Structure 1
Amino acid sequence: MVVVTSAYESDQAGAKKLFAQAYNRISERLTRLVCIWVDAGYQGEGFMKWVMDTYHWILEVVRRPTDTKGFVLLPRRWVVERSFGWFNWCRRLSKDYEILPQTHETFVQVAMIRLILRRLA
């Protein structure tokens, strides 16, 4: 799913576009989705209430502990970072070679299929 947003848009504005596209395209596959982990850019009572009222999803902000310095492994955040690291093993995803966002999206899907098949084998 490709959502094109401007660099001047806030994270919340981009998330609204992404949620709307996802819900319109694959709402039948999102029936089990309950909680979405987000970073601090998505916090705010108004935005969280809008997501809950519109899509019935719960946004859970994963915050960095305030009393720590340096690198801290954040709960659930490492799953996304690990996945991005796996993409770097794929030559076409190691750099941004693609012109169309749809092509990049397809190669991300192929990379994830490859990873899943390797785990099943």
Structure 2
Amino acid sequence: MPGDESPAGRIRREMGTGPRAVTIVIDSQSVKAAETVGKDSRGYDAGKKINGRKRHMVVDTRGLPLLVMVTPASLTDRDAAREVLFRLRLMHPEITIVWADSAYAGKLVDRARKHLNLTLKTVNHPKDASGFIALPRRWVVERSLAWMMHARRHARDYERLVQHSETLITWAAITLTTGRLVMALLRTGG
């Protein structure tokens, strides 16, 4: 029933897809942490040289956020993905395909298939390319993470508790989704 679906479901339906996502994209973003962030919930991401937290985000193929999980930046994407994919499976049992970058490759692909009944597909950078390249499927989650950074509060993590950080990111996602829904309604005249 249209009145019972979520705003994200309504956007998906108006864009010509089903109200539930079956294919999703996962990625993470390391952000610096303010001094208010406790040492137990921050870490050092050696690859990005950032002392702070890592935001793991799952979006559908339209870029609508489905799940956010915040961890210390020192936790690898592959290790965090175990918990992210488990939560995702509980919240959205209809999902079957997960697109990710090569950081999620390895044993996680087999584990996701065997224990969670998810097909994890990784997208690799072309070997001869340098600089930024929009990779197939992955650009959607990169765009969503960039949209989150437009909210000044999300340029750095200030929250003492991880749950507060996750809630504020979810709030920003709701704001973005609502804005997209309003724009779709204005375009259709409804």
Structure 1 residue 42: Cα displacement? 1.9
- Of the three residues 79, 90, 101, the one matched with 1:13 is 79
Structure 1 residues 11 and 118: CA distance shift in structure 2, 3 A = closer
The corresponding residue for 1:38 is 100
Structure 1 residue 68: Cα displacement? 2.1
User: Which stretches in structure 2 are left out of the alignment for 5+ residues?
Assistant: 1-67, 183-190
Matched, 1:91 2:91: no
Structure number with the bigger relative contact order (C-alpha 8 A, sep ≥ 6) is: 2
> Aligned ranges for residues 41-56 of structure 1 at < 5 Å?
41-44=103-106, 46-56=107-117
CA contact (8 A) 2:82 2:108 kept: no
User: Secondary structure of the equivalent of 1:81?
Assistant: helix
TM-score, normalising length: structure 2: 0.54
TM-score, normalising length: structure 1: 0.80
CA contact (8 A) 2:151 2:172 kept: yes
- Of the three residues 93, 98, 104, the one matched with 2:165 is 104
User: Which stretches in structure 1 are left out of the alignment for 5+ residues?
Assistant: none
The corresponding residue for 1:61 is 122
When the two chains are superposed, the root-mean-square deviation of aligned CA atoms in Å is: 2.1
Structure 1 residue 5: Cα displacement? 5.7
CA distance in 2, matches of 1:75, 1:84: 16
Structure 1 residue 110: Cα displacement? 0.8
The percent identity for this pair of structures is: 33
CA contact (8 A) 2:70 2:165 kept: no
